[in-house]
Structure formats: C-alpha cells, structure tokens
Structure 1
Amino acid sequence: MTSDMKVDNVTAVLKVIAILEGLDAVGESSLADLSQRAVMSKSTAYRFLQTLKNLGYVTQNPESEKYRLTMKVFVLGSSALGNVDLIKTADPAMASLSKLTREAVHLGTLDTSTAEVVYVHKYNSHFNLCMHTRIGDRSPAYTNSIGKALLAHLPQNQLDTLLQNIKLEPRTEKTVTSEQVLKKELSSIAKSELSEDLEEMDEGVCCFATPIFDHNGKAIAALSMSIPSIRYHQEITNEYKKILIEAGRNISENLGYAKK
C-alpha cells in the first residue's frame, strides 16, 4: 500500500468518526447541518452516511430526511465497555425504581483513564423538573454521586494516582475542589453503601448512589437516583435511599457478588 493510500484511508476513518460524533452530539441532524458540524462537503458527508446506513449504524427519518444513530452503535459501544450483562442485569431493578419513585434513575461506570463517569443506562424522570442526561454522556467523577461511589472503592494507590492527574474544578458553587476534603468524604463513603451529590454537578439537582459489585468484589458500576433539590429534602427521599441500596445489593448478587 502506498503512502498516499494510507493517508486516504486515515482521512476516511476520521471523516466517519466526525459524522458519528456529530450525530451523537445533536441526536438527529439534516445533511446540511451535519456536513457543517463535521467540516466536510455535503457530497462527502452523504457518501459516508449512505455507507453507514447500509451497515446499520445510521437511519434516516423518511419524513424529515434527518439522520440519527441506531441502537447498533450503542450495542457496539456497550460491548466494548463490557456492560451488556451489567445493563441486562440492572434493567429490571431500574425499571422498578423508576415506576415506584417516578424520578430519574441512572447506571454509570468509571473511566479511570479520564476520571469520568460514563452513563450507560437510564430511566427518565416522569417530572418536568429533572436532571437531563443521555446514555454515553460523561461527567467528572468527583462531582457526582455515581463517581464518588466508584472512587471510594478504588484501591488507595489507584485513587491517589488518579487524583494527581486531574484538576478539581468547580461545576457549581458546591462542588468539592479540595483533594483533602474529597478524600475524607470518599473514606466515609467506602464504609457505607451510599454517596451523595448535593447540587455539586448541576445547580438545583441532588443525587444519591450505591455501588454495584461483580463476582470478584470489584465495584464496576453505581446505581443512582436524581431528584431536584426542592423535592430532595423530604422524608420520602430517605425511603428512596433504602430502596436504592437494596436494588444495588440485588444487582450485585445477580452478578455473582457474595458479601463477606
């Protein structure tokens, strides 16, 4: 293969990635908007979109003619993350929590390379006032309950290294930006089954989470519930916390975890 052919192949891959990321960012897009977002001509974008359609990664709305990603992309990503079994196992409990509380329920994992939470499954809130996320979204682990639940169960040396490589920047006025304060909180969380985020990631939104363990006793994910702050400080929230912890325990047991 000549060097020119190699360059062309790399360029093609970069353009496909740009299209996929463009669709991921907006959800649904016209050809004109997508070509502009991906910085390529409409004819080039159209050619790659047709290939992605034929492969089943993109679909087109016959009425609006807009393009969007298919679930095949999510399945591919989930397989790479090793979360397919996790999601299947967690889904019934999450569905029950959603039906019972009507609040937003999330399942997230920790990307230790970036110290970010990745949301891999969710049930939307039934209320208009709620936290808005999409599957695949990321957020700094130190700012939210899922991230804290997972950071708290990392080996100490791994946690120290991870925190040394990130900057604790505020997302809101209540975000913990002191490493000393954060470590103290994580130490407390590690002794319990619950972590909290009190408007530390988004103003007006509070969350609580519980870790999920695999058969080796490793915290591989966390289950959370998000509630607007105006509803959070109510007696019913304490009941929701108990229910969430029990759901997390059940999911862990179904994954083969046996608490010592």
Structure 2
Amino acid sequence: MRVAARKIKADDRHGDIALAGSAELAADGGERSESVAAVNKVFAILQALGENSQIGISELSQRLVMSKSTVHRFLQTLKGLGYVAQEEDTDRYRLTIKLFELGSKALESVDLVREADVQMRRLSQLTREAVHLGAFDENSIVYIHKIDADYDLRMQSRIGRRNPLYSTAIGKVLLAWMEPDEARNVLSHVVFRKSTPKTLASAQAVLNILPHVREQGYGEDNEEQEEGLQCIAVPVFERFGRVIAGLSISFPSMRCGADTKAHYVALLKDAGRAISAQLGYHDSQRAVD
C-alpha cells in the first residue's frame, strides 16, 4: 500500500508539472495574441490617420470600433515615438513627416537594388568574382543584394547577412563618408572582435584610416574579416550626395595581384558612378576620383 501511495503522489506531481507547463504555454499564447491584436490596432490607427489630414479621438473610436481610452493610449505612444502629432487648438491628430521618411527609405532601398543590379551583373561578368551591395543598419553592414562568384573557391554569403563595419571594405566606405563625429559615435557603440590577426581592434584605429579611404575613393578589407579573402568597395550616392550603400568585389588573395586589384578598383568606380547617376546624383565623378 505504501508503494501505491508513493506512486499516486508521484503521478500527482507529474500531473502538476504538466498542468503548470500547459498554463505557461497558454499564457505565452495569450500574450502573443494580445501583441498581435495591439499591432493590428496601431496600424488601423495609422491607416485611418493616413486617410484624413486630421482626426479626433471620438471619430477614430467610432470608425475603428475601439474604446476611446484604447485609441488615446495608442495615439500617445505614437506621439511619443514621433509618428503622430497633436494639434493643440483642436485636439485632433495627424501623421508626421517621420512616417514619410520611413517610407522613403523603403522606396530608396527598392530603387537602389533595381538600379544596382545591372552594374553588379556587369561586374560579375567582367571579373567572375563575388559582387555585393551593402547598406548601414544598426551599427553594422547588411548585404541587400549579391551575385556569387563563378568559381568553386569563393566567398560564402547571403542577402540579409550582417558583418562588422570595422573589418569590411563596405563598412569602411560607409564610415568614411559620414561626418567625423557621426562615425566616432557609431564606432563608440561597436564591440570590436578580431576575426583575423589583421582585424582593426579599436575605434581609433578605424578612424585613423577613414580620411585615406575617402581620399582614394574606395575601401579595402585585406584579410581582416576572413583569412585568405580580400575585398574592395566604393560608395554609392543618392541624389542629395549622401552615401547610402557600398558596392564591393570580393576575391581570394591568391587570385588577385596588384594589377588585377587596380583593374577592379577602376571597374568598381565606374559602376558606383553609374548607379549613383541612376539614383539622381550627378557629381559622382569628382566624389570618388
């Protein structure tokens, strides 16, 4: 009987654990559902604001079938983030320019990839090496377009992959065309890790080379990200002269001597100027020579 009793208690304990686990899963599921519902409400409010130059809480509440308190809470959050402004005289709300800026960035990325693709394919045909387009995001670079090398020995990468600013040719280009204080601030938030013996290991070491990068019109990764692999990159300008991306060729060190590298630099500069011109920038020649 004592054995049976112990077994019953053990089974009860397992049951308690199972019930607790089920409760946790249910709680997680409930939280996820609430989060999705909240996101849906936020975008419903933004959509309604987009359809009206100005609109008040009562009208939003009626149109979206939400309580006034819920509408008010989300509006205050959006206001705090800078996406919504409140008119003092009327207590009505409107969208701010910040959403336009966000949309412009998305459109800019689409235009950038489309315009870059032709030049990237040309570079790929001429060099047979890997060609990448990368942009700045959250203190790193992210590859937004690529064409693989036509060799068995080649760089392994993927669109969406992130790499450090300090050890990549594209990263150095993006930093070099920032204002010095901006580049210094960006690097102050970067954690430096040496991928190879040649990796620059401090913000100051990177800052020291940026004037040279800008002067010569291109950045280099001399086996700083991966041993045996080199990369050259040039800037891509948008219509107002801001660098929005870097265009690069990557290749194994064993496959590229000084003459070949100089040829790649010339090809990249031509391609960078062509893409920049397609994006509306008409002074690229002087900027990268």
TM-score (norm 1): 0.69
Please say if residues 168 and 221 of structure 2, whose CA atoms lie closer than 8 Å, have aligned partners that are also in contact. Answer: yes
Separation of aligned partners in 1, 2:192 and 2:206: 10
Give, as a single letter, the amino acid of the residue that structure 2 aligns with 1:110.
F
- SS at the partner of 1:136? coil
Give, as a single letter, the amino acid of the residue that structure 1 aligns with 2:194.
P
Separation of aligned partners in 1, 2:266 and 2:185: 33
Give, as a single letter, the amino acid of the residue that structure 2 aligns with 1:189.
V
Match of 2:139 among 112, 115, 130: 115
- SS at the partner of 1:142? coil
Gaps of 5+ in 1: 14-78
Higher helix proportion? 2
Match of 1:130 among 154, 157, 161: 154
Match of 1:202 among 216, 222, 226: 226
- SS at the partner of 1:206? strand
1:108-130 deviation per Cα after TM superposition (whole angstroms, max 9, x unaligned):
0011xx31110000110001111
> What is the 5 A alignment of 1:227-246?
227-246=251-270
| Structure-2 change in CA distance of 1:126 and 1:154 (3 Å) | same
Gaps of 5+ in 2: 1-26, 38-104
Give, as a single letter, the amino acid of the residue that structure 1 aligns with 2:117.
D
| Structure-2 change in CA distance of 1:255 and 1:8 (3 Å) | closer
Separation of aligned partners in 2, 1:235 and 1:155: 32
Separation of aligned partners in 1, 2:186 and 2:281: 26
| Other-structure match for 2:182 | 158
Separation of aligned partners in 2, 1:208 and 1:119: 15
Separation of aligned partners in 1, 2:238 and 2:128: 27
| Other-structure match for 2:240 | 216
> What is the 5 A alignment of 1:59-208?
80=106, 82-111=108-137, 114-208=138-232
Please say if residues 188 and 203 of structure 2, whose CA atoms lie closer than 8 Å, have aligned partners that are also in contact. Answer: no
Separation of aligned partners in 1, 2:153 and 2:252: 7
* Cα drift, residue 155 of structure 1: 1.4
1:125-173 deviation per Cα after TM superposition (whole angstroms, max 9, x unaligned):
0011111100000001111000100011111221111111112221111
Give the percent of matched residue pairs that are identical in Structure 1 and Structure 2. Answer: 39
Give, as a single letter, the amino acid of the residue that structure 1 aligns with 2:239.
H
| Other-structure match for 2:12 | none
TM-score (norm 2): 0.62
Cα root mean square deviation, aligned: 2.3
Separation of aligned partners in 2, 1:147 and 1:82: 19
* Cα drift, residue 192 of structure 1: 2.5
Structure with bigger gyration radius: 2
